Structure 1
Amino acid sequence: MTSAVVETAQRPWGRLTDHIGLGVVSARFGRDLLEEVLNRTERREKRSRRLPAHVMIRYVIAMGLFFAESYDEVMRRLVGNLRALGSWDDDWQVPTKSAITQARQRLGPEPMKALFERAAVPLATSGTKGAWLARRRLMAIDATSFDVADTSDNAERFGRMGSGPKASAYPKLHLAAIAECGSHAIVGAVLGSCRTGERTLAADLTSTVGPGMLVMADAGLYSYDLFNRFAGTGADLAWRIGASVSVGHLSWLPDGSYHALIYTAGLSAASRARLAEQAKAGHDVPAELARRVRVVEYTVPDRNLDGDLIVVITTITDPHEIGALTLAEAYHQRWEEESALDEIKTDLRGRGEVLRSKTPDLVEQQMWGLLLAHYAIRALLLDAADPAGYDPDRMSFIKGLRVTRRQVTDQAAITP
């Protein structure tokens, strides 16, 4: 006990900021991993700096944890505990906002993106409740937007919703993301302008999915091309479609679902009918024109008071693998994606708050920091839920955030 206190109280070697840690966040994104992404993105410093790149990566994640705080206050939270522990170098001062901004500019968004792509992997284990269906990992895609600082550069890069007098007050960054339903962890993300359609952004998420997954998405993301693109990864799909999407009924199945064709856009009614007849006769249809799927239709009266029909198409064509009722119940796990995005927008960022970075590169850097902070907290909650046999859905994200924030301050003097 005594030796531990003496060791903690010793003045640290090297630069003070080399001793900045983020508690559980540092455990998730270790120093070796930071050095790897800095090497890969060629952001390693050529000379010694007061705010080295590996420190700035952690600082940007801390900005996500303490979103409402000023830049210099975030730094004070990271190093403030060092003074109380007698580890503060008398010659060292908290960097100014200008110095922090310059260090963020040197870092750029690339290392933050690379760290997310390298570290944000599915978390659920075989025993994680709510994470699996028929040996398939449940995943969900969704998209949302974030208000960013109203500068000319941000407006040019990200655009505004609407035009003229009806244009949005702030430029908006558009985010398409894929989340693991069981853990609520976001494991893939694409950033872009609000002028870029969510289907276009979502197309770049295919690298994050593959065999052994069941990927779900809402009707707004459906297109024939995008559905086929995700199906081509080897993952199974369960996507809702809207009333405007034509399906060609082929045959009823014992569980009340049915086989059908979906069609590429622009086909005439006569062409669709001809392709359906070919499929009913047992002939193959051209993949560029149509695809055989299974359709599950149902209503959810307690959620949808109007009784609108929910139509989900799936690549799982055998009803004995996953029955219609089971698939319908699983599809509503897709709401976990919306919950994950809401945790970022409401709990981390704060409801109605703006990403205040003034330049597009720093906006993207800040967004990757938010995603990394969210991932670290979700990993912490899963680590707590699994050994206890809890469903991670029962774990409070806000409580996890509070624990993480406390550890940022309490463990600031622990060398990573």
Structure 2
Amino acid sequence: MAKTQCVITREITVAKGLFAPGHLGELTQIVPFEMVDEALEETGAVQQRLRKIPARVVVYLLLAAAMFEDCGYLAVWRKLTAALEAIPVAKVTGTALWDARTRLGVRPMRALFDLLRGPATAIRTGGARFKGLLTVAIDGTYLDVPDSPLHRARLDKSTNQYAISGYPQICLATLVACGTRAVLDAAFGPRSSGETVHGKRLMRSLRAGMIVLLDRGFSGNKFLAAVAATEAAFLARVTAARKPPVLNRFDDGSYLSRFGGIEVRIIECEITITTSQGRQTGLYRLATNLLDHHRYPASGLVSLYHERWEVESAYFAIKKSMLSRRVLRSRTWAGIAQEVYALLSAYQILRIAIADATEVTPGVDPDRASFSVALQTARDQVIQASGIIADTTIDLVGAIGRAVLDHLMPARRLRVSPRAVKRPLSRYAYKSLRVDRRTYQATLSIDILLTGLISP
């Protein structure tokens, strides 16, 4: 019996010559050659002579490496060139890639991130705004870096009563748009400086027309005053230990008070969560500089505060989906900064792709889009070198968007999961490890309390 063969041929359009490996698959349409060249030109990083690995190619290599965190840079290079067999591609070594990254430096990656950062969508996205205010959140997290003498000297290690952490860490503070989980700005540095120090560097991106959701760690008087000075509104959780004075009471149960030199409204509430495992009640105190209790009632602000968890979802996507809890690669501080900006840029590019797909599809909330599906599909597009050059008619959805829309997650249900330390420093199982972390369907009730029911 004669054997039959099916031969599939396709045309791959890439940049010419030595620039061919410089792409990000279909995501190149979001971060095109012109954008990368602009970042290089702005920072004076365009090569003086054409090398085997041009500066533009190095930028795309770093972005691709952020999407393939389980691979070394040489393995990432092989993925970028896997579909370019018909094109003469320079043979490189690990040392050549190291030298190219070192020549590039940090500034082009920071400039590229500045070009990409933003809410990633128009105001039509559901949940993006509250009473006309763009809903954003600030929070911090920590990333492990290699345990080298250089990093230990600069960053040190965190400790607790049980042990010393295995790796030095940097603190990353971000400003995230809650509606799309896109990054509006970021700052990072040594963990020892604290998240509020890095968080203050984000004030440059706050403006009137925003409402910033803040956790208790950012509720100090100086930090809230810095936010208020930008003319942005804030909604912050504050500790029960504070004793704000009652200057006036409002009909919605909130009251006027003062933190340092700024007037605030205080909302005290009791939130009860009921699951199949029983009922759990917590007392919360929120502070806001939105003083109009008619336009911004207490019940609406309490419900809005739950959106702060979108920044936690963004960190989960970066640390779990992209990094897979891995330690960052570089053993130099410049290399770490370069890698972090590449990681944030790659994350932002994927969020833009998700926002484009969901925005042109009526009735689809970005919350239902799977970041993991977008990431896996984008990786396939990089290996296949697909969709690098856009057609004359730009498809905002593309292969990545179609994969996301074909695998939408169910509409978000109210869920609760107990907070627990999952990676303790103790040599023994800490008590939080015995907490049942399964999530349950839940019902939520909110009661605004009268003044004075929360005792310090």
Query: In the alignment, is residue 95 of structure 1 matched against residue 92 of structure 2?
Result: yes
Give, in whole Å, the separation in 2 of the partners of 1:227 and 1:77. Answer: 46
Give, in whole Å, the separation in 2 of the partners of 1:299 and 1:117. Answer: 41
Q: Which residue of 2 aligns with 1:277?
A: none
Asked whether the equivalents of residues 127 and 179 of structure 2 are also in contact (C-alpha less than 8 Å), the reply is yes
299, 316, 338: which one aligns with 2:290: 316
Deviating more after overlay: 29-38 vs 232-241:
29-38
Give, in whole Å, the separation in 1 of the partners of 2:78 and 2:11. Answer: 19
Q: Which residue of 2 aligns with 1:21?
A: 23
Q: Is there any run of 5+ residues in structure 2 with no aligned partner, and where?
A: 1-7, 391-456
Bigger relative CO (Cα 8 Å, ≥ 6 apart): 1
Asked whether the equivalents of residues 199 and 222 of structure 1 are also in contact (C-alpha less than 8 Å), the reply is no
Asked whether the equivalents of residues 29 and 388 of structure 2 are also in contact (C-alpha less than 8 Å), the reply is no
Give, in whole Å, the separation in 2 of the partners of 1:183 and 1:12. Answer: 32
Query: In the alignment, is residue 369 of structure 1 matched against residue 372 of structure 2?
Result: no
Give, in whole Å, the separation in 2 of the partners of 1:123 and 1:413. Answer: 21
State the 4+ residue runs in structure 1 displaced beyond 6 angstroms.
9-12
Give, in whole Å, the separation in 2 of the partners of 1:378 and 1:11. Answer: 24
Query: In the alignment, is residue 139 of structure 1 matched against residue 141 of structure 2?
Result: no
Question: How many residues are matched?
Answer: 379
Q: Which residue of 1 aligns with 2:358?
A: 385
Q: Which residue of 2 aligns with 1:284?
A: none
Asked whether the equivalents of residues 20 and 414 of structure 1 are also in contact (C-alpha less than 8 Å), the reply is no
315, 318, 321: which one aligns with 1:344: 318
Pair 1:11–1:122, CA change in 2 (3 A): closer
Give, in whole Å, the separation in 2 of the partners of 1:12 and 1:129. Answer: 38
Q: Which residue of 2 aligns with 1:267?
A: none
Give, in whole Å, the separation in 2 of the partners of 1:11 and 1:261. Answer: 60
Deviation, 1:197, is 1.0
Query: In the alignment, is residue 408 of structure 1 matched against residue 410 of structure 2?
Result: no
1:392-403 equivalence runs, <5 A = 392-403=366-377
Query: In the alignment, is residue 196 of structure 1 matched against residue 162 of structure 2?
Result: no
Deviation, 1:12, is 7.0
Pair 1:254–1:115, CA change in 2 (3 A): same
Give, in whole Å, the separation in 1 of the partners of 2:249 and 2:111. Answer: 47
1:187-226 equivalence runs, <5 A = 187-226=184-223
Q: Which residue of 2 aligns with 1:271?
A: none
Give, in whole Å, the separation in 1 of the partners of 2:120 and 2:51. Answer: 35
Pair 1:163–1:332, CA change in 2 (3 A): closer
1:89-138 CA-partner distances (Å, limit 9, x unpaired): 1xx44421111111111111221111112221112312101111100110
TM-score, normalization: structure 1?
A: 0.86
Pair 1:52–1:6, CA change in 2 (3 A): same
Asked whether the equivalents of residues 218 and 240 of structure 1 are also in contact (C-alpha less than 8 Å), the reply is yes
Asked whether the equivalents of residues 247 and 257 of structure 2 are also in contact (C-alpha less than 8 Å), the reply is yes
Provide the identity percentage: 30
Pair 1:163–1:46, CA change in 2 (3 A): farther
1:239-388 equivalence runs, <5 A = 239-263=236-260, 290-302=261-273, 307-351=281-325, 353-388=326-361
Pair 1:94–1:306, CA change in 2 (3 A): farther
Q: Which residue of 2 aligns with 1:233?
A: 230
Give, in whole Å, the separation in 2 of the partners of 1:13 and 1:117. Answer: 27
Q: Which residue of 2 aligns with 1:81?
A: 83
What one-letter code is carried by the residue in structure 1 that aligns with 2:183? I
Asked whether the equivalents of residues 124 and 131 of structure 1 are also in contact (C-alpha less than 8 Å), the reply is no
Deviation, 1:150, is 1.0
Query: In the alignment, is residue 60 of structure 1 matched against residue 62 of structure 2?
Result: yes
TM-score, normalization: structure 2?
A: 0.79
Q: Is there any run of 5+ residues in structure 1 with no aligned partner, and where?
A: 264-289
What one-letter code is carried by the residue in structure 2 that aligns with 1:364? A
Q: Provide the aligned C-alpha RMSD in A.
A: 2.3
Where 1:29 maps in the other structure, the secondary structure is coil
Asked whether the equivalents of residues 28 and 388 of structure 2 are also in contact (C-alpha less than 8 Å), the reply is no
Where 1:307 maps in the other structure, the secondary structure is strand
Q: Which residue of 1 aligns with 2:150?
A: 153
Asked whether the equivalents of residues 75 and 94 of structure 1 are also in contact (C-alpha less than 8 Å), the reply is no
Give, in whole Å, the separation in 2 of the partners of 1:217 and 1:48. Answer: 48
**Structure with the bigger percentage of helix:** 1
3, 6, 11: which one aligns with 1:8: 11
